[in-house]
Chains A and B, each alone.
Chain A
Amino acid sequence: MRAFSYEKPASPAEAATAASRNPEAKFIAGGTNLLDLMKLEIEAPTHLIDVNGLGLDTIEPTQEGGLRIGALVRNTTLAADQRVRRDYAVLSRALLSGASGQLRNRATTAGNLLQRTRCPYFYDTAQPCNKRQPGSGCSALGGFSRQLGVVGTSDACIATHPSDMAVAMRVLDATVETVKPDASTRTIPLGDLHRLPGDSPHLETVLEKGELITAVTLPKPAGGTQIYRKVRDRASYAFALISVAAIVQRDGSGRVAIGGVAPKPWRVEKAEAELPRGAKAAASALFADARPTHENAFKLPLVERTLDAVLAQARS
C-alpha cells in the first residue's frame, strides 16, 4: 500500500470536483474491495476521497412509484428494507447470497457496482493482465479460466463482473444517477454502465473522470415471481459460478439476467422473448455469441439447467 492523502468533502459535487483535480484519486465508500486491492498494490491511489457521510445513505420512494437507493446504502440495509423485500425480492435475495454478513455491513450500493473482477491473474502483480496493466497481455486466456467469462469477453480479457447485486439490479431495470465535477447530473441505465472489454479492459464503466454515483433508482415494482439462484462450489461465501436473476409473470413472460458469465450482468432482450418457450431457447439466445474456454464451457449447460429449474420453480 502506498502512502496516500485523505479528504472528506462536504457534498457529492465537491467530491466529484476533488476527484477531477487529481488523476490518481479514488473515491472510497465501504472499502471492502478497494482496501484489499491497495494492500496488494493493484490499486495505488495517492489520494482518497471519502464519500461517507454525504447524505447518500437513504432509500426514498420516487414519484414514479419506484425506489431511489442512495449510493452509500449498505448492502445489509438494502437487503433488509421492507419495501425491497416486498417489491424487489430478487434484489434482497441476490444481496444476501453475496459475501458475508460482515462484508455486507460495510459494502455499499455504488461500491458493489464498481467492484473489480475476481480473476486470479488480476490479483497477481507478477502476471500479465490487460485490466491491471494495459497492454501486458491476458494470462487467463489459455490459463486457469474455470471461473471466468464465456460471453461479452474479448481476446484482451475474459474477466467477469463478480457482483450478485448488480445482476438483480439489471433484471429490475435499475438506473444509475451520477454527479459530475461541473455539478451536472445524469442518469445511466444500469445496462449501459459497464463496458465490454474490447481491447481496453482497464476501462470498465462509462463514468467520466470524477463522476460520482449518487444513487441507484428502481422503477415501479415489476411484480411476478422473483428468483435469484446462485450456483457455486460451496454453500456460502463464494463468488457465483453462474447466477440467474429472474422475474417471471403468470403468463410465462419475464426477464432474466445472468451473473458469473460476462464482464457485466448479462441480459439479452431476444432471450427474454424466448422465455415462454423454455430455458433451452432462452439460453441459446443468451449465449449466441459465447466464446467459452475449455475449462468454463460447462457454464453454458449450467445456465440452461439452472434457468430451467428457475422457470419450473416460478411455475409451481
Chain B
Amino acid sequence: MKFDKPAADNPIDRLQVVGKPLDRIDGPRKVTGTARYAYEQHDVVPGQAYGYVLGAGIAKGRIGAMDVEPARRAPGVIAVVTAKEAGALKKGKRNTARLLAGPEVEHYHQAVALVVAESFEQARAAASLIKVEYAAAEGAFDLKAAMNEAKKPEGDDPSLDDTKVGDFAGAFAAAPVKLDETYTTPDESHAMMEPHATLAAWEGERLTLWTSNQMVDWGVTDMATTLGIPKENIRIVSPFIGGGFGGKLFLRSDVLLAALGARAARRPVKVTLQRPLMINNTTHRPATVQRIRIGTTGEGKITAIAHESWSGDLPGGGPEVAVQQTRLLYAGANRMTAMRLAELDLPEGNAMRAPGEAPGLMALEMAMDEMAEKLGMDPIAFRLLNDTQVDPEKPERPFSMRRLDECFRVGSERFGWSRRSARPGQQRDGNWLVGIGVAAAFRNNLVMKSGARVSLDAQGIVTVETDMTDIGTGSYTIIGQTAAEMLGVGIDKVVVKLGDSAFPVSAGSGGQWGGNSSTAGVYAACVKLREAVAQKLGINSTEAIFANGEVKAGNRSLPLASAAEAGPLTGEDTIEYGDLDKTHQQSTFGAHFVEVAVDAATAETRIRRMLAVCAAGRILNPKTARSQVIGAMTMGAGAALMEELAVDKRRGFFVNHDLAGYEVPVHADIPHQEVVFLDETDPMSSPMKAKGVGELGICGVGAAVANAIYNATGVRVRDYPITLDKLLTRMPDAA
C-alpha cells in the first residue's frame, strides 16, 4: 500500500480497540518467565555449548602474539576462535569497527577471541588463560584535544551538511540581546537490562540465530555480508528484547562470534556479552561539545540562531547529529548549523535513544532558558514568541501538525508554573533549595516502509506475522490492537508473532518510527485480508463492515470465521510512503516540567516531580505509550544528573564499565512522574494517524532538569551531567 495522500476516515477511526489502554498481551509471559530471551532459548536446539568473549586489553595497536593453547587444553573447552581461525570476514554496512579484532585492534574490549566450552564457567575460566601480547599504538581519546582537527563529516547524507539561511553573522552582530555559550554532553551508555546475547546453530549451510536485535533485517543483511554467505541462508529469531535503546540496532560481536563458535565447535553455541564488555565492546552515545549563539530583538524575537556541534568517532564513523532540532524548533530569519567530526580511537559511537535531539536539546533548551533570563522574559513566553508553524529554513513547507504551544499551556497549568520565582535561589524547604524548570521536547517523526502478513483461520483467530520487534515498547499489543480493529474482533482473537526474519520485513524498532510504521504495515496487510474475506463471502469489500466478529454488508451479516471455513485466508502487504514527509515537516512535540530540590550543604540534586505533555499524533495505547514516556523521562533524568562514561584519556577506554560504575537512576531518584497526551490525529503520518513517542519522552528532559537546578540555586552548569562537584563551590551561602 502506498501512503501518498493524507489519511481519510478508515476502520481505525472507530477506536474500538485502538486507543484503549490495554494491558500488554505479552505481559503474562513476561511476568511468568515464559517470554524467552535469546540466552534462555534452552530447548530450541539440543547440545548447546557456551562461548565466552575475550576483549582487547588495549585501545589501539596490534596483537603481537596470542597463545590460546592453555585455553584449548583447559577443562571442558571445545574450541577457541580468533581472527586466525575465523578466516576472511567482511564488515557489515552498519559497523564502523570490525566485530573481531586481529591483528589490528581498533578499540578497547574489541573481541579478540571466543572460547567455547561445555559450561559457561569453563569457557570463562579458559578465556582467562589466553595470553595476548599487544603492541600498543598512540591513539586519540580526548574530544576537546581533537576538536581543532575535526572535519566536516564525509558522505552524501544531506542531513550532515552545514546549513545556512540568511545572514547569521550580520544579524547576530546587530542583535541587541545575544547569547554565545558552549555546552558539553558526555559519552553515554545504553545500559539496558538484557545484555547482547545470541544462540547460533548451523544446519549445513544454513544458520539460525536466536538473538536480541531491534532490526531483524539489518541484522540478517549485515551478517550475510560479514560471513560472505547468502542472506537466504540466515534466519534471525528475536521475539523478546530486554531493552535496546539503539544499542541493539546493529549486528554486534555476540552474533558473529556465536556463529563462528558454532561452526568451529560443530555444535550450537550461545554467547552473551558479559556486562563489562557492554560498554567498550559495543556502541555508545558520543560526547558532544556544542556552541550555541542566539540573537534577539529587545522584545525577544529571534533574529539569529546558530548551533555548532563537535563529536568524535572511529575513522569511518559518523557524528552525533546534535544540531538537527535547531533547524526546526524555533523561528528566526538568519540561521546556521554545522557539525564537525573528530577522529577518536574510543569505542564506536552510534545511535542511542533520540540520537541528535537528546544531547542537542540538552544544550539548546538550556540556552533558551539563559536567553529568556537575559531578556527578562518568562521562559515559556520566550519560546512561544518564537514558535513557528512552518519549517524555518523553508517557510513554504508547513509542519503537518505542531501543537507545541498547547503542550506548554496545558503543562504550565497542570504543573503550577505560575508559582515559579523568576529570580533563582528564592525557594527554600528546610535544607533544600527548590526550583522548577521547563524545556521543549521535539523529535522528528520518521516513517519507514513496513510489511506484515495477517491470516484468518476457521476458528476466527487472526494471526499477525511481521519481523517487527518489541524492545519492551509494547509492539505486540499495539499490533494486536490494530489487527483487532481492522477485522472487527476482540484482542483475545488475535495472535501476534514478531521478530522472525521468516516473516515480512518491517520497520523494526528505532528512531521512534516503529510504533506508527509497523502498525501501518499491519493495517495494509489487514486491508488485503479484508478484501480476501469479502471476496470469499461474496461481499463488496468497500461496503463491508467488520465488527463484533462479523462481516456486514447491507442487511447481510456473516461470521468472520466462516470466510476461512475452506482454509485459512491470508493478506500480506507493505506500507510504503510517498512524499508527505517531504511536503510537510512531520515532528512530535512536548513540554517537560521538572521540580528539583538541591541540598544547600552538599549540592545533591533530587528530582521531586516531572510532567511531560506530549503531542504526538494518535496514541495507539495510552498505557504502553505512557510507559515509553516515563522510561524516557527517567533516562533523561539520568543524563542530566549522573550518566557519564568516564574516559581514561591515556589508556583510551571507558573506565566505569559496569552498572556499579555507570550510574543510572534508581527508583528513589524518580519519585513522581505524570504524562499527558494531547488528543490528536495526524493524517499525514500514516493510516494510523499516529507518530512516535518513545524518543520524544527523553528529548528536552535534561535541559528541564538543568533549568530547574538553576532556578533552585542560581548556579548555571553547562557541562552535563550536573553532579554536585560542579555546583558545590558556587552554591549560595546558606542563610
Smallest Cβ-Cβ distance to B647: which chain A residue: A144
In the complex, whether B582 has a CB less than 8 A from a CB of chain A is no
Closest chain-A Cβ to B528's Cβ sits at a distance in Å of 51
Which of B120-128, B206-214, B446-454 faces chain A? Answer: B120-128
CA distance A143 to B650 in the complex (A): 7
Tell me if B394 is interfacial: C-beta within 8 Å of chain A.
Answer: no
Q: Does A121 contact B (CB under 8 A)?
A: yes
Is the pair B669, A234 in contact by a Cβ cutoff of 8 Å? yes
A238–B663 Cα distance when bound, in Å, is: 8
| Distance of B127 from chain A, by nearest CB (Å) | 9
B125-147 interface (Cβ within 8 A of A):
125, 128
Known contacts A1-B124, A298-B725: A231-B669 contact under CB 8 Å: no
* Nearest A residue (CB) for B54: A126
CA distance A130 to B42 in the complex (A): 42
Given contacts A143-B650, A236-B668, A302-B602, contact A2 B655 (CB under 8 A): no
Give chain A residues whose Cβ lies under 8 Å from the Cβ of B463: none
CB-CB < 8 A to A195: which residues of B?
A: none
Is B661 in contact with chain A by the CB < 8 A criterion? Answer: yes
Partner of B606, one of A235, A237, A305, A306: A235
Contact call B655/A306, Cβ cutoff below 8 A: no
Say if the beta carbon of B615 comes within 8 Å of chain A: no
- State the Cβ distance, B408 to closest chain A Cβ, in Å: 29
* B39-96 at interface with A (beta carbon < 8 Å): 55, 57-58, 75
CA A296 – CA B702 in complex, angstroms?
24
- For A301, the chain B residues whose CB sits under 8 A away are 728-729
Note all chain B residues with C-beta closer than 8 A to A306: 601-602
Report whether A234 and B724 are in contact in the complex, using a CB–CB cutoff of 8 Å.
no
CB-defined interface of B616-657 with A at 8 Å, one 1/0 digit per residue? 000000000000000000000000011000111011000111
B651, A234: Cβ atoms under 8 Å? Answer: no
- For window 222-270 of chain A, which residues contact chain B by CB distance below 8 Å? 231-239, 241
- Tell me the A276-316 residues at the B interface (CB within 8 Å): 298, 301-302, 305-306, 308-309
Across the interface, B646 reaches (CB within 8 A) one of A127, A144, A232, A308, namely A144
Q: Is the CB of B642 within 8 A of A233?
A: yes
For residue A285, give the distance in angstroms from its CB to the closest CB of chain B.
20
Q: Which of A127, A143, A302 contacts B725 (CB 8 A)?
A: A302
Contacts of A41 in B (CB 8 A): 124-125, 128
Contact check, A233 vs B728: say whether CB atoms are below 8 A apart: no
A145 to chain B, nearest CB (A): 10
**A120, B708: Cα distance in complex, Å:** 32
* Cβ contact within 8 Å between A144 and B663: no
Tell me, in angstroms, the Cα distance from A57 to B647 when the chains sit together. Answer: 43
Q: Which residues of B contact A233 (CB under 8 A)?
A: 604, 641-642, 663, 723-724
Q: Is the CB of B125 within 8 A of A142?
A: no
- Name the distance in Å between A288's Cβ and chain B's nearest Cβ: 21
Given A39-B124, A236-B668, A301-B729: A308 in contact with B650 (beta carbons within 8 A): no
In the bound complex, CA of A144 to CA of B641 (Å) = 18
Question: Shortest distance in angstroms between A138's beta carbon and chain B's nearest beta carbon?
Answer: 12
Given contacts A127-B651, A143-B651, A298-B725, contact A235 B601 (CB under 8 A): no
Contact A237 B666 (CB under 8 A): yes
The docked-state distance in angstroms from the alpha carbon of A1 to that of B274 is 13
A146 in the interface (beta carbon within 8 A): yes
Known contacts A41-B128, A120-B656, A298-B728: does B648 contact A143 (CB below 8 Å)?
yes
Give the Cβ gap from A48 to chain B, nearest Cβ, in Å.
15
The reply to whether the CB of B667 lies closer than 8 angstroms to some CB of chain A is: yes
Interface-central residue, B55, B121, B646, by most chain A CB under 10 Å: B646
A-facing mask of B658-693, CB < 8 A → 1, else 0?
101101011111000000000000000000000000
In the complex, what residue of chain B is closest to A307 when comparing beta carbons?
B601
Residues of A within 8 A of B604 (CB): 231-233
Tell which of B58, B276, B668, B725 has the most Cβ of chain A within 10 Å: B725
A4: min CB distance to chain B, Å: 11
Chain B residue nearest in CB terms to A237 = B666
Chain B residue numbers with a CB within 8 Å of A125 are 128
Contacts of A1 in B (CB 8 A): 121, 124-125
Contact of B660 among A118, A142, A241, A305 (CB under 8 A): A118
Q: Which residues of A contact B535 (CB under 8 A)?
A: none
Residues of B within 8 A of A241 (CB): 724
Which of A139, A231, A237, A238 makes the CB contact (< 8 A) with B651?
A139
Query: Is B276's CB under 8 angstroms from A124's CB?
Result: yes
The answer on a CB contact under 8 Å between A234 and B641 is yes
The yes or no answer to B233 lying at the interface (CB within 8 A) is no
* Known contacts A124-B276, A238-B663, A241-B724; A143/B125 CB under 8 A: no
User: Which residues from A are CB-within-8-Å of B426?
Assistant: none
Least Cβ–Cβ distance between A37 and chain B, in angstroms: 12
In the complex, what distance in Å separates the CA atom of A120 from the CA atom of B656?
A: 6
What chain B residues lie within 8 Å of A235 (beta carbons)? Answer: 606, 666, 668-669
Q: Give the distance to chain A from B153, nearest Cβ to Cβ, in Å.
A: 29
Q: Which residues of B contact A308 (CB under 8 A)?
A: 601
CA distance A302 to B128 in the complex (A): 41
B369: shortest Cβ distance to chain A, in Å?
Answer: 23
Return B140 CB to nearest CB of chain A, in Å: 17
Specify the chain A residue showing the minimal Cβ separation from B128: A41
Q: Is B666 touching A124 in the complex (CB atoms < 8 A)? A: no
**Which chain A residue shows the least CB distance to B662?**
A120
Residues of A within 8 A of B148 (CB): none
Most chain B CB within a 10 A radius of its CB, from A40, A124, A302: A124
Do residues A234 and B648 form an inter-chain contact, with CB atoms below 8 A?
A: no
Determine if B431 is an interface residue (Cβ-Cβ < 8 Å). yes
Indicate if the CB atoms of B648 and A139 lie closer than 8 Å: yes
In whole Å, how far is B150's beta carbon from the nearest beta carbon of chain A? 24
A142 to B651 Cα, complex, angstroms:
11
- Complex: chain A residue closest to B132, CB-CB: A126
Q: For residue A304, which residue of chain B has the nearest CB?
A: B601
Residues 598-622 of B, flagged 1 when their CB comes within 8 A of A and 0 if not, give: 0111101010000000000000000
Q: How far is the CA of A209 from the CA of B79 in the complex (A)?
A: 39
Q: Most chain-B Cβ atoms within 10 A of its Cβ — which of A118, A125, A231, A233?
A: A233
Instruction: State A236–B669 Cα separation when bound (angstroms).
Output: 8
The digit string for B717-731, where 1 denotes a CB below 8 A from any CB of A, is 000000111001100
Chain B, residues 96-119, CB within 8 Å of chain A (1/0): the string is: 000000000000000000000000
What is the bound-complex CA distance between A223 and B655, given in angstroms? Answer: 43
Which of A123, A143, A232, A309 is the one whose CB lies under 8 Å from B658? A123
Question: How many angstroms from the CA of A41 to the CA of B728 in the assembled complex?
Answer: 38
B724: chain A residues within 8 A (beta carbon): 231, 233, 241, 298, 302
Q: Are the C-beta atoms of B668 and A231 separated by less than 8 Å? A: no
Known: A231-B724, A236-B669. A120 touches B655 (CB 8 A): yes
Nearest Cβ on chain A to B268's Cβ, whole angstroms: 23
Q: Which residues of B contact A144 (CB under 8 A)?
A: 646-648, 655-656
Q: Across the two chains, which residue of chain B brings its CB closest to A123?
A: B658
Contact A234:B655 (CB < 8 A) given known A143-B650, A298-B728:
no
**B427-438 interface mask toward A, CB cutoff 8 Å, 1 = contact, 0 = none?**
000010000000
For the complex, what is the distance from the CA of A144 to the CA of B431, rounded to whole Å? 31
- For A305, list chain B residues within 8 Å (CB): 601-602, 728
Cα–Cα distance between A236 and B655 once the two chains are bound (Å)? 22
Q: Which 5 residue pairs of A and B lie closest in terms of their CB atoms, listed nearest first?
A: A126-B57, A309-B601, A235-B668, A298-B725, A236-B668
**9 interchain pairs, CB-CB under 8 A:** A1-B121, A1-B125, A127-B57, A139-B651, A234-B641, A235-B606, A235-B669, A236-B669, A298-B729
Q: Which A residues lie at the B interface, using CB under 8 A?
A: 1-3, 39-41, 118, 120-121, 123-127, 139, 142-144, 146, 231-239, 241, 298, 301-302, 305-306, 308-309
